[in-house]
């Protein structure tokens, strides 16, 4: 054995029992060295890394779209009472009277007033938000603020229901919506178009304008012809019907352009609820008639976040909202059309 190999074994505990000598720096070309250069693998053959190490998680969250809440935009929104209020009375007063021929000593003729109290019921509804400690931390690994996302979801869920209550009310209660209040007049039918049918999709701008004029004429008939064409009005319809307002004639003028000339203070608001069973509808709503507000959406509790309840390793929180539906104070100020 080479003396240096013996020294390594004695001094450092490094043993090469099969070694005979050191290989010189420059070996002769014919020298063959016997060695196990590539022994058999103990581990599974693998040339990669775990796939998740090469994955990128975008920190920007992509929100799933939901249809917008448009009822409050169409009618406006007010608070009436609070979450303890279960019923509301809306007094309606009507002037009465009669006249008589004048006479110096005559005392005929009388005036009076009749008051009716319209009743509405409120509806409270709720949802629960729950999350666990491990759940929060696991979502945190993906940079998702889970508790905040759940609270956002609770607000979205409550507001979606409130929007529906503004359109349809609450079944079984004296709580009505903009589309089903029993005091609303029956919907009229659009005129037949040159392209066939009553729909607006292939209608000419002049034909669409004629339908809007028919709606306004209906308003005039219902209100006793007290409206002016420059009154503030809202045309509420479906997005597909709104798109038809862009139909142009041979001169490049759209239906909306022509409508704005006739009704300069008319605004257009689209909502998904104006499509039912494949049938498109619309409402022409005047803001007020002789100072009388036509209607508004009403709530008694916009959002009440109850106390946070801590469990052993989890948390819960209830959130509550309340609605009166749509309060139509002057139904004659709304005209409806179906079959667009």
In a domain, 331, yes or no: yes
In a domain, 8, yes or no: no
In a domain, 11, yes or no: no
Stretch among 32-41, 55-64, 239-248 having the lowest mean pLDDT: 32-41
Q: Range of 284's domain?
A: 75-97+112-338
In a domain, 201, yes or no: yes
In a domain, 35, yes or no: no
Structural domain count, the chain: 1
CATH number, domain containing residue 284 = 3.30.2320.10
Instruction: Work out whether the CA dihedral 306, 308, 309, 314 comes out positive or negative.
Output: positive
In a domain, 52, yes or no: no
151-182 pLDDT tens trace: 999 999 999 999 999 999 999 999 999 999 99
**Neighbouring C-beta atoms of residue 156, cutoff 10 Å:** 14
**Neighbouring C-beta atoms of residue 86, cutoff 10 Å:** 12
Give me the pLDDT at residue 120, please. Answer: 92
Q: What is the phi/psi pair of residue 96, to 5°?
A: -130, 165
174-184 as b/e, with b when 16 or more CB fall inside 10 Å?
bbbbbbebeeb
In a domain, 29, yes or no: no
CA distances from 158 to 77, 125, 324 (A): 16, 8, 14
110-135 pLDDT tens trace: 999 988 888 899 999 999 999 999 99
Name the β-bridge partners of 260.
none
In a domain, 34, yes or no: no
């Amino acid at each position: 054995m080479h003396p240096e190999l013996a020294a390594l074994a004695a001094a450092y505990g490094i043993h090469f029992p099969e070694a005979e000598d050191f290989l010189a720096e420059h070996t002769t070309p014919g020298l063959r060295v016997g060695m196990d250069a590539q022994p058999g693998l103990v581990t599974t053959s693998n040339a990669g890394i775990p796939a998740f190490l090469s994955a990128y998680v975008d920190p920007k969250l992509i929100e799933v779209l939901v249809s917008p809440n448009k009822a409050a935009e169409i009618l406006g929104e007010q608070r009436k009472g609070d979450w303890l209020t279960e019923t509301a009375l809306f007094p309606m007063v009507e002037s009465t009277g009669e006249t008589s021929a004048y006479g110096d000593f005559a005392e005929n003729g009388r005036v009076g007033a009749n008051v009716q109290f319209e009743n509405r019921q409120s509806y409270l509804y709720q949802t629960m938000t729950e999350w666990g400690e491990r759940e929060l931390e696991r979502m945190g690994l993906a940079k998702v603020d889970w508790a905040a996302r759940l609270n956002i979801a609770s607000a979205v869920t409550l507001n979606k229901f409130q929007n529906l209550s503004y359109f349809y009310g609450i079944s079984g209660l004296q709580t009505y919506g903009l589309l089903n209040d029993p005091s609303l007049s029956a919907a009229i039918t659009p005129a037949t178009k040159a392209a066939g049918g009553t729909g607006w999709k292939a209608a000419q701008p002049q034909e669409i304008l004629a339908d809007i004029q028919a709606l306004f004429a209906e308003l005039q008939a219902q209100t006793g012809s007290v409206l002016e064409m420059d009154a503030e009005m809202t045309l509420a319809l479906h997005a597909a019907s709104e798109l038809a307002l862009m139909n142009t004639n041979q001169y490049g003028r759209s239906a909306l352009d022509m409508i704005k000339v006739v009704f300069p203070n008319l605004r257009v608001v689209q909502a998904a609820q104006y499509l039912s069973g494949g049938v498109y509808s619309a409402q022409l709503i005047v803001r007020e008639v002789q100072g009388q507000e036509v209607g508004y959406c009403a709530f008694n509790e916009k959002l009440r976040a109850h106390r946070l309840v801590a469990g052993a390793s989890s948390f819960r929180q209830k959130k509550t909202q309340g609605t009166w539906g749509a309060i139509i104070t002057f139904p004659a100020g709304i005209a409806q059309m179906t079959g667009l």
